Structures are given as structure tokens and as C-alpha cells.
Amino acid sequence: MGEGRDAPIRALTDVGAGIGSDYDVAVRSGLFDRSYYLRENPDVAAAGFDPVAHYVTSGFREGREPSEFFDGRGYHARYPDAVDTAPLVHWVRVGLVEGRRPPLRGALPPGAGIASDYELVARSGLFDVGYYLRTYPDVAADGMDPIAHYLTSGHLQEREPSLFFHGQTYLERYPDVRASAINPLVHWLRTGTLEGREAPLNPRGIGQQLSLRDLCEPTRSEATAGLSDPAFRPSVVTPAFNTEPSYLQELFQTLLNQSYVGWRWIIVDNGSERPDTLRTLRRIAAADPRVTVVFAERNLGIAGGTNRAIAEADGTHVALVDHDDLLPRTVFEAIWKAIEAEPDADLVYTDECKISDTGELYDVVLKPGWSPVLLENTMYLSHLSVYRRDFLATVGAFRPDFDGTQDYDFVLRASRHVEKAIHVPVIGYVWRASPTSTATSMTTKSYSVGRQEASLLEFARQRDPDASVSPGFGDGFWRTHYTLPAAAPLLSYVIPTGAGSRMVRDRRINLILNCVRSFENTEFYPNREYVIVHNGDLSDEQNAQLAETPGIRLVHYEDRSLNIARKLNIGVAAAAGEFVCLLNDDVEAMTARGGEELVAFLLAHPDVGMIGPLCLFENGTVQHNGVILLEQGPSHAGLFVAPSHAGATGNLLQCRREVFGVTGAMAIVRRADYQALGGFDERFPLNYNDVDFCLRMRESGRTCVVDPGVRVYHYESASKTGTYRCEKEALYARWPGLRDPYFNPGFDQRDPTYRVLLRPERAPVETDPAAFENWLDRHIAWRIRHYPTSGAIRFTLCVPVYDQPAAFLEEMLQSCLLQTYTNREIVIVDDGSTRQDTLIWLAKVEAAGHARVIRHEANTGIAGANRTWLAAAEGEILVPLDADDYLTIDALQVMAHWIERFPEARVFYSDEFKSNPASAKASPFFKPAFDPFLSANCCYQTHLMAWRRDFLVEIDAYSDDRATWCHDWDAIGRAWAVGHEPVHVPELLYAWRINPGSTASAETGDKPAAVASQKFVLDRLVEARGRSGDVAVRSNESGQHTGMWSLRPRRTLDSVMNLRVEEAWRDGGAVLRAAASTDAEWLYLHTGASPVEADLLELSALALWDERLDVASGLLTDATGTLITWSGAFFCPDGTVLDPNLGRTFDGSYHGQIHTQRCVDVAAPTNVVIRISALQRVLRTSGDALTSDELMIRLGLDAVHNARFVAVTPYLRTVWKPAPGLILPVDRTGLLAGLEERLLASRWYDSRLSPERPYGIEPERWRC
């Protein structure tokens, strides 16, 4: 070993069968250092033991460490439950998932003497050379030392050193490290651990690592589903030559294990000379009648062997499978299902991965949907490809002259004929990286590189006789170049401008002049004109300099409101070019003659409708590399990464390719196509107009392409504001079912950098803002199609404004302007604003005519502003809207639908969700129907409310300034007092923005003025309802929650019969039945020997507040009083009862409701008051034997049927003690099973919510 010779390692032969998996885990972890182990344990080296096997069997028990940085002894000391397993193995398998502390020693001890960063990284166990070269093939192609590359430039390009270490997470967590530009792995090893910084390990990466067993079992038989269909009979064709027998047998076994059994395997042996290969082929043929082996007399080559096998095929489809690869067990089943849906598909292909000679799966390749433009860059289809057999005749045979790249040559030719191709996004092929396979490297078949170029050049020259091909990103990647005709067609740059300027790299640039100058200086395109659409505010200098440039045409945009889509349409209408380049004025050209590449490509590809370049931010990172559809909405591929970033798989970000869309900041399109599609939709005035246009382009049959080979700077945000949530809602409404066929679902759907995430772990939709927003946007799109209205109702949106930030005001306004219901007006009352951006915004709105703006000279308070809009409004239905909040775009449409359903109602309210200063949607509040008890505890109805105008006038709403801080609660109370309870509209229509200073914020809700205002309103409500002698309003004492109150009893109920609950259920409830015949009005079932007067008093508050109450109880807890045993339950349409707080503490509940008096469907069975008349109705329909379970559920059903109430109070808490006949009302007898859904439709819990996860959103239960 001292002379650098290979160590004479021998394997341990007495290792138990179960140790093999531990061995694999240690090897694949990247944290076992063989050299370190042998160096530190010379006895192991001297004995010639395999160091990994020694460690996992006995070494760890002897306290030996697997690497310099792994602290196994410390791990065992910290976690005694792991002592029987090698600590490295236990941590990878269990500890990482459970969040146990990383057992790494991190920084070196003083005097360790490793001064070199290179040696430090190499010895850390956290740099995986194989991973780095596989993930970044450009490094391998250039022959660079991977560690040296990572240390010098790789980390700056956001490349990761291994599957386990995630440097970007470390830099995001510690901005000071990012600012220092220190390599994250080096920083963590040298400094981070000593400073107590969190280990930037990547458990998600480990969790995503597939094992071969996840896909297939190549060495043993598995039970199959036996699926088959005459419409799909795949013939698997495989040329073979001197194949390793074990490889053939393993491939055969994966075929035998297929869940879909209707396949046939045709093997053409190309003159193999190995006897063991021939014996294996004969044995396989004899083992299954579905296998045919053709023994060729000579080597036909790969193409010839494939052609011979296809000639023998008699199935409906042909699957191309190499002789040494493996097939996942369900791949043919997945393809069959895809073909069932689209039987006329010419081609079906899947994703794939590779397998090393040690059995490690790596290089998962997640492919886009059918992308013939991408094919001009690389053979992205590869494996598994399945063709319709009759389609093969259209293409012709595989060509022997292209052996080694015969599949690429074939699919290039096939692409000219494919009318429909299906991508099945499953890992459908395991490509063995043998020493002679191109799975290892293109250089293993060096002749194939030249043949690829020749095939691609032939293909390109069928489009353009003067086309050329040059090497691309790395081996196996290419770039095609097309040419312009001698008379290049005219290209019209259409540039909307605001005549502005901005700072770029510490100097101020004039945007429009800089833009035009850059395209001229780079000679971007030879035959061009500039159509500049301006607002009439170009300066003399701008006019003068523009006049010096030939081909300038100025078009005056005279509209008072900014509408970029309209500006572009006006510009294109004035353009003369065959092609138009839609161009922001904050774009600066970089690539010399780049426009020639883009236009020439369009000329050669009539099936491509639109093409755009790679756009970079000022700092050189990517702003746009094609539009992709993330879970949170349209975004830009490769956003914020270095332009050299290729993506985690397939190097897609370096390739010219089809995409979901391209940015309107710069895109070239044929003018005829632009006009045929109607241009940009002016209903998207600011954002997503480009996405919408791209979707219409793709709908018309043409694709959109991004070309990273052409680059521009885009100084984004210089020309417009950000996007608004309502604009995205409008996009989803215009395109329901929106999906991105080019962004594989195996990528992290929230990450624009193409990070592989095969098994995402997500929080529930309702607690995950990104998932919630995605779900809500799609649900809004559904609502727009399913909530019809006559359009006859006239709405007035009423907005009081006082010094809110202009950004919030603009989003509010846009959400009003984009309403799908158009019979509306907007009235804005400026209540004496003094803030400058607010005043500027108000002036713009007034000038644009978007709303009527009424101004107060001085602030009059919210109630004063409300009185003004009430007097000015012309609509019959008024919708108050806080100035810093916003609506969903269908809010008025949904409201109109419900108003037309309930024409006698006077006031309506909807569900809502919260937003933040960044406008994210989160925290949905699915409200109950009008609840008279909860309504006296908090004003939960506030948003969104719709009022009949004449009714607001009738109840003298907003007339008392003492109610100004809770004017909405006051108006509700006034309506309630005259007999009009609000109608609940069970849809999320309103975004309540939580920001400092708003009424949504805690500091505002706790202000003395707000508290006093609420108390005043509630006291008046009690008086107006004639309950002053029965109840009083006090602050909430159950739990601290802003804006919550409680009803406190002034007296106890009259006419109450007391009954010990333990006695009530004797003899099957006979005592209870006897009590029902009493003349009393109420029955009080209590615990203990005698009733507690204070307990009955608490329950009396509810009964005295509303005469419709039939049942009232407190809450039940465990013996400690901290865990909730029963808080009141709801009926669910699946026939179950749900207590949303069961088993929880009082610290948190759904919008604080555990701390309120409120309606439920099923109350607690003890310390409960029951109206005798309700009890009598229930007992008449029940059997002889009765339990508390059945009684409480029957009382709940009776309340639903008779529009009565069941309620609970948090001020009475009882320790739950079951007894004979006394059980929790969870419907043990199945009383609810089979009941009509209308009887199980809870008024207090939306029937679309989860019956298992309280207030949970399960998208499949909703129509969206």
C-alpha cells in the first residue's frame, strides 16, 4: 500500500445474509472512507478484510469509525437505542429521517494539519466524485478534476458535492457565508460546526435515492397482476452479441415479473461466440413460449439485428430494449394505460435511470413531453421507447451506417412523421452502465459521436440546405444552425416604453436608448425596424437620439391607464415586418447577431410559433430560461441560478427546447400568427398576457421555444410592477386544468432549477400556503364555470381609503377590475389621506376612470367614510372592502348566485383566507352558518359581506361613530335585532391582509378604542334583543384571542329538572325516559351527587340568549384538564361524527373557536341541559335500550331537522368519566349510516372538508 499498489482485500465470507443491506447503505452513503479505515486500523488491512464489511459486522462494536469526520461513538452514546447497529447505517436509515443530530465531527481539531481545502474536501467523506461527474457531465467531458472544479467554480454555479450535502441550503440559511463567497462545504468543515451552525445535510436527497428493488427484482420471481389486452401487444426487440449470461437472465426475469403479461420478446443473436451466451439464450427460449430467439449467421450490427427482430414482430407495438438492461415491473402496464387513453399514438416513451456495476441506481433522467426541437440538441428520448408497429414502416428501417447512434438517427427521421407522442412520466427503464455502454460515457463508443453529428446534419439540411451543426454543452449534445435567405425578412422590434431610466451597475441608463443602442451595437438582426409605443412623455434627448437611428417609428399610446397588452397590440398593428419581436425597453442585447439565429430557426421550423432568448439579471444570474408552471404558478426556468446551470437531469437548461411559454420581455413571432391569434389579450393588462398568448399559440398547434444560446440582459421591474394574485386567478380561469407538459412531475414542483424530487413530502393543503393557493386558484376556475347568474344585480364595491400603501391599493383595485361579474361600480372614499404614494395612486385611479373617487378634507373615521359611500352608491347590493385587502376574481359572481337563490335575504357573508404583505394566500377560514352564540363572541362574518342598499339605510348603518372600530359587527347586530340574520355563502372569496396597522393585526385589535367600540356594539345588541336581564357581555376569559368576547349569565334557567347522569342510563335509560315526562322545561344531566349551581348557570347563558337552543353542554377533558376529550362534534356526509379538537390541548384551535360559545351538532353527554320537548321527540323514535351515544346523536339530528340549535360553552369543563350507558357520542351503533346526505349536512362544518382531518382540504372532495 505504501507503494501505491492495490490493497489485497478479501471479502468476509461469514457475513450473515442480513448484513448485505447494511454494507450497501455504508457504501452508498458517501460517508465511508475506505482509505481512512484501513489507515487507522492496520490490523484490518493486514488481514485483508473488506473494510466496509468489517465495519458493519464488528468494527463499529469495537468503537472504530468509518471516516475522519463521522462520530459513531458519540452517536451511540447519544442514542442508546441504536447500539446494535453500525451508527453510520442507523443514521442513514433512521436517524436522518427522524431528525436526529448529525453524527459528524465537522471542523478539524487544532493541529490536524490539513491546510489544503482540496485535501479537506477529499477526506471529508462528503464529496462524491462519481455523483459529481454523473450530475455534471460537462465536468467529465472536459476531463476536469471534480474536486478542483467544485472548489474553484462549481460552488459558485450552485453545484452540489454529493447527494448528502446541500450547499445552497447552507448559504440560504447563513447569508454571511454567501456574502463571503466561501465554498459552503469548506466553511462548514472548518468553521460552521465550531460556531454551532446547523449541518447542511440533505435528507431529502437521501430520501429520494431509489433502490433497485423499488423498480424491479431481477434475480427472483414476483407475483404479477396478469394484465393483458389485445389492443396492446408489445413485441420487445433485442439484438444481442456475446451478452453476459447473468444480464440476459436478469432482463428475462424483469419481463417475467411484469404486471402486464401480454408481451412477446424477440431476441436476435448477432453471431455470438460465447458458449455461455448461446446456452442462456436457448434456455430462455425454452422457458417461456413468449420468447423467440433468432440466431443470425453473422453479426448484423445493432441496426441490422433490430431490423431483423422487428421483422419477426407480430404485436401492435414494438419496444426497443438493449440486451443488458432491466425493465421496472409496471412499465408495460403504465404504457398500456396511456395507449388506452390515446390509442392512435405513434410513439410512447418513459423516464429512465442508470445502474452501476455495483447495483447503485443513479442519473435519474426525467424527460419532458414530446419535444422534437430538444431532439436537435440530444437524444433525450433514449429508453424506453415504444412505437406503434405500423408506424415503423412509415419511418423505414434502422440504418446500419449509424450503428452506435442508430436509435437517435431513427427518432430524428421519425420526428418528421410523428403526429402524436405520449410521455409516460415513470421510471420505465434501468440502463446498465457497463464498460462498453454509452450509459457510462459517449466515449465508450467514440465512433457514435461522429455518426450523431452526421445524422443530425442530414436531418437539419432537410429543413435548410445550408444548415450546420456544432458541438453543444457536452458529449452527446449539439447545436443546429440555420441560415437566413439572401433577402432577410423584416423584423419589427415592438417596444412599449415609459421613457424611464434606472441604475445599472452603478450608473444610470436611459432604458429605451440603451435598449435600441444594444441591438444596434450587437448587429442583432440585419433587416429591422423599431416600433416604439410611448405615452407621449419622451424627452427631447430621447427623441433626438432615436431620430438618429434608421427605422425608428414612434406610436403614441393615448390610453389613460397602463395596459401593456394593448400597447403591444397597437405596436404590432403599426409594424411592417414579417416577424415581430415583442421587446421590453429594459432589455439589453448581448449575443452578437443573435436575432439571426432566432429568426432563421423560426423560418426552418414552421411548427414553432414563438421563440425567445435566455434572459439574465443585471448580476448575470438567470431571469428567464423558458416559462414553467410551478405549483405556485407560472415562473421562469432556472430562476436565479448561474447560466451554466444545466438542471439536475438531462441538462435541459442548456438546450434549445420546447417550453410551456416564453416571456413577453423578448419573444419573436410571425406577425401573421400574432394577428391570427388576436394578439395579446387586453384582459390581462399587466401580467400573464404573454403566458396566455403562448397557451393560445400552443393550442393552435405551434410550440414555443427558448434558446439559451442567445442571451440578453433583462433589468426586470424597471418597466412594470409585480404580479397580483388576481391576475393568476384570471389565468387559471381562462385555462382550467392548466398543466406543463414539459416540466416533469418528478421534479420539485416548487423549484425552478429542475431539482429531482420523486417522493415529495408535503404538509396538508390547508397548512401549506403554496399548495393552498394552487388548490384555491383551480377551485376558483371551477366556480366561475359552475355559479351561473342572470347578471341583473347591480353591485357597488365600497372602499374607504386612508393612507394605505399604493401597492396594496393597486392590488385591491385590480382584484375589483378583474371581477368575472361585470355589472358593478367602484366607489372609493378618500378619508383625508396625507401619504404621498396614496395620493398619487388616487389621482391615477380618478384619471383613468376606474372608480368614482370621493374625497374628504379631513379624516372622519371608518364609519364616516362608510356613510359617504352609502350615500353615493348606486348599486342595489353594496360590498364593503378594506383598502388593503383583495377579492378573488369571482367574488361578485358567487355572491350574485347566492343572492339570486335567496331573494328575501338582506345580508350575506362568505368564507375568507388570510394574506400577508407579499400577498400570499394562507390560513383558510371555513365559517359556520349564522351562529347566534359565536356571533356574540366574535365578528366572524366580517369578510366578505354583501348588503342590500335599502336595508343598510333602513337599519341606519354606520350612523354611530362609537362603533367605528367594529362598524361591520354593529351593522350585523342591527340586522339581527330586526330579524334578518346573515346568509352564509360557503366559498372563500376574500383575502384579509395581515400587516401592521390594519384591523387584521393584533396590535390594532388590542387598541383601547377598538376594544371599547366592540363592547359598545355588543352591549347595544344585548339590549336590542331584549336580553339585558338574562345575559351580559364580558371579555373572553377562556383563552387570549384578539376581538373575542363572551355571554355571561345574569340568572339561572327556570323550570329545570336535575338528574345524575350516572343514574340516567340505568336499565337502558329507563330513568331518563321517566324524566322526560316531567312538566319541567329543561332536563339537566349532571355529574356528582348534586348539581353545581355555577355549572347550570354557565349553561343558562346559552339557553337564555336564543330560544331556538335545545341542547347545551360544556367541554370534557382528561384527568389533568389539559387534553380535550369532547368539545362538540359535527356530522359528516360519510356518516361519521367529527370532533375537531379531540385529543388536543386548549392552546390552539381552529381560528380560536375552542374558546368560544358556539353551535355544534353533537354536544357532550354529561353536564348538559336538554329541552324536554326535544327529548320527547327523540325518545318517541328511539328503541327501548338507549345509551348516551345514541341520545346525543339523535338530539343533533332532531336539531338539523327542525332548524334548532345545539351549543357548547368553554366555561364549563368536566373531567370525563365513562360509566355503564354513559359513552362518548361517536355513533358506535352506526345510527348515521345510510341516512340521507341532507340530514348529515352540518350547518357548522362544510361537508366538503375532510371527515378525518379537522378542517382539512382534500382536493378530490372539491370540484376543481
Q: How many CA atoms lie within 13 A of 150 on its CB side?
A: 29
Q: Confidence band (pLDDT; 50, 70, 90) for 1060?
A: very high
* 1033: Cβ contacts below 8 Å, ≥ 6 apart: 936, 1015, 1018, 1019, 1021, 1022, 1045, 1046, 1047, 1048
Sign of the CA dihedral running 429, 435, 437, 438:
positive
Rounded to 5°, the CA angle 42-47-48 comes to: 95
Class of domain 792-1026: alpha beta
Tell me phi and psi for residue 1214, to 5 degrees: -125, 135
pLDDT in tens, 138-178: 777 777 778 888 988 888 888 888 876 788 878 877 878 88
* 275: Cβ contacts below 8 Å, ≥ 6 apart: none
- Identity (one letter) of the amino acid at 206? I
pLDDT at 323 over 50: yes
Q: What is the mean pLDDT of residues 534-562?
A: 93
Does residue 516 contact residue 547 with C-beta atoms inside 8 Å?
Answer: no
Beta strands 795-801 and 824-831: pairing type?
parallel
| Eight-class DSSP state of 396 | -
CA-to-CA distance for 14 and 49, rounded, in angstroms? 12
Q: Determine which of 206-215, 233-242, 295-304, 744-753 has the lowest per-residue pLDDT on average.
A: 206-215
Give the model's pLDDT for residue 536: 92
CA-to-CA distance for 805 and 918, rounded, in angstroms? 13
Query: What are 815's three cell numbers?
Result: 382584484
What does pLDDT average to over the chain? 89
Beta partners for residue 295, in sequence order: 269
| Eight-class DSSP state of 161 | S
Q: Confidence band (pLDDT; 50, 70, 90) for 722?
A: low
φ/ψ region of 1261 (left if φ > 0, alpha if ψ in -120 to 50, else beta) reads alpha
The residue among 842, 884, 854, 827 whose CA lies nearest residue 1004 is 884
H-run or E-run covering 703:
strand 703-714
pLDDT at 1003 over 50: no
Does residue 309 contact residue 398 with C-beta atoms inside 8 Å?
Answer: no
pLDDT at 57 over 70: yes
pLDDT in tens, 417-469: 999 999 999 999 999 986 555 544 445 556 778 899 999 999 999 999 999 99
The residue among 515, 434, 774 whose CA lies nearest residue 629 is 774
Does residue 930 contact residue 975 with C-beta atoms inside 8 Å?
Answer: no
pLDDT in tens, 94-117: 776 565 655 665 433 322 445 678
Q: What is the dihedral of CA 396, 399, 405, 409, to 10 degrees?
A: -40
Give the model's pLDDT for residue 209: 61
Q: Is residue 595 packed enough to be buried (19+ CB in 10 Å), middle (13-18) or exposed (0-12)?
A: buried
Q: Confidence band (pLDDT; 50, 70, 90) for 837?
A: very high
Q: Is residue 1078 packed enough to be buried (19+ CB in 10 Å), middle (13-18) or exposed (0-12)?
A: middle
Does residue 635 contact residue 687 with C-beta atoms inside 8 Å?
Answer: no
Query: What are 597's three cell numbers?
Result: 439565429
Does residue 284 contact residue 278 with C-beta atoms inside 8 Å?
Answer: no
Give the model's pLDDT for residue 361: 84
| Eight-class DSSP state of 602 | H
The residue among 1189, 1169, 1180 whose CA lies nearest residue 1232 is 1189
Q: Determine which of 488-497, 692-701, 712-721, 1175-1184 has the lowest per-residue pLDDT on average.
A: 712-721
* Comma-separated ranges of CATH 3.90.550.10 domains in the chain: 213-437, 491-734, 792-1026
Query: What are 41's three cell numbers?
Result: 486500523
The residue among 262, 215, 263, 201 whose CA lies nearest residue 238 is 263
Q: Show the beta-strand stretches assigned E in 570-665.
A: 579-583, 587-589, 608-616, 622-624, 627-630, 633-636, 657-659
H-run or E-run covering 1073:
helix 1070-1075
Q: Is residue 623 packed enough to be buried (19+ CB in 10 Å), middle (13-18) or exposed (0-12)?
A: buried
| Eight-class DSSP state of 487 | S
From 3.30.1330.20, 3.40.50.2000, 1.10.10.10, 3.90.550.10, which CATH number describes the 213-437 domain? Answer: 3.90.550.10
pLDDT in tens, 695-721: 999 999 999 999 999 999 999 764 445
- Identity (one letter) of the amino acid at 276? D
CB count in 10 Å sphere of residue 753: 20
Q: Which residue has the cell 418597466?
A: 719
Q: Is residue 1236 packed enough to be buried (19+ CB in 10 Å), middle (13-18) or exposed (0-12)?
A: exposed
Q: What is the mean pLDDT of residues 1062-1083?
A: 89
Give the model's pLDDT for residue 438: 54
Give the model's pLDDT for residue 1006: 57
| Eight-class DSSP state of 112 | -
pLDDT at 314 over 80: yes
Give the model's pLDDT for residue 12: 29
Does residue 445 contact residue 433 with C-beta atoms inside 8 Å?
Answer: no
| DSSP string over 1128-1196 | -BEEETTTEEE-TTTT-BSS--GGGGGGS-EEESB--SSSEEEEHHHHHHHHHHS-SS--HHHHHHHHH
Give the model's pLDDT for residue 194: 62
Give the model's pLDDT for residue 196: 59
Give the model's pLDDT for residue 77: 77
Give the model's pLDDT for residue 43: 85
Q: What is the mean pLDDT of residues 676-705?
A: 96
CA-to-CA distance for 253 and 334, rounded, in angstroms? 19
Q: Confidence band (pLDDT; 50, 70, 90) for 506?
A: confident
CA-to-CA distance for 739 and 631, rounded, in angstroms? 10
Q: For the domain bounded by 491-734, which CATH number is listed? A: 3.90.550.10
CA-to-CA distance for 284 and 633, rounded, in angstroms? 51
Q: Determine which of 1-15, 656-670, 690-704 has the lowest per-residue pLDDT on average.
A: 1-15
Note if the bond before 1197 is cis, omega within 30 degrees: no
Q: Show the beta-strand stretches assigned E in 155-271.
A: 234-240, 264-269
Q: Which residue has the cell 364555470?
A: 785
The residue among 145, 105, 101, 112 whose CA lies nearest residue 127 is 145
φ/ψ region of 849 (left if φ > 0, alpha if ψ in -120 to 50, else beta) reads left
pLDDT at 17 over 50: no
Tell me phi and psi for residue 1257, to 5 degrees: -95, 115
Cα separations in angstroms, 139 against 104, 144, 151, 441, 495: 29, 6, 13, 12, 40
pLDDT in tens, 1028-1057: 999 999 998 887 666 789 999 999 999 999
CA-to-CA distance for 1084 and 1087, rounded, in angstroms? 10
Does residue 1219 contact residue 1169 with C-beta atoms inside 8 Å?
Answer: no
For the chain, what percent of residues have pLDDT higher than 70?
Answer: 92
Q: What is the mean pLDDT of residues 754-763?
A: 80
For the chain, give the longest Cα–Cα distance.
108
Model confidence, pTM:
0.82
pLDDT in tens, 616-658: 999 888 999 999 999 999 999 998 887 877 776 778 889 999 9
CA-to-CA distance for 1144 and 1155, rounded, in angstroms? 13
Q: What is the mean pLDDT of residues 199-227?
A: 75
- Identity (one letter) of the amino acid at 643? P
Give the model's pLDDT for residue 30: 63
What's the first-to-final CA gap in the chain, in angstroms? 66
CA-to-CA distance for 449 and 379, rounded, in angstroms? 12
At residue 333, the 3 state secondary structure works out as helix
Give the model's pLDDT for residue 249: 96
CA-to-CA distance for 96 and 70, rounded, in angstroms? 14
Q: Confidence band (pLDDT; 50, 70, 90) for 751?
A: confident
CA-to-CA distance for 1062 and 1248, rounded, in angstroms? 37
For the chain, what percent of residues have pLDDT higher than 90?
Answer: 66
- Identity (one letter) of the amino acid at 188? W
Beta partners for residue 529, in sequence order: 492
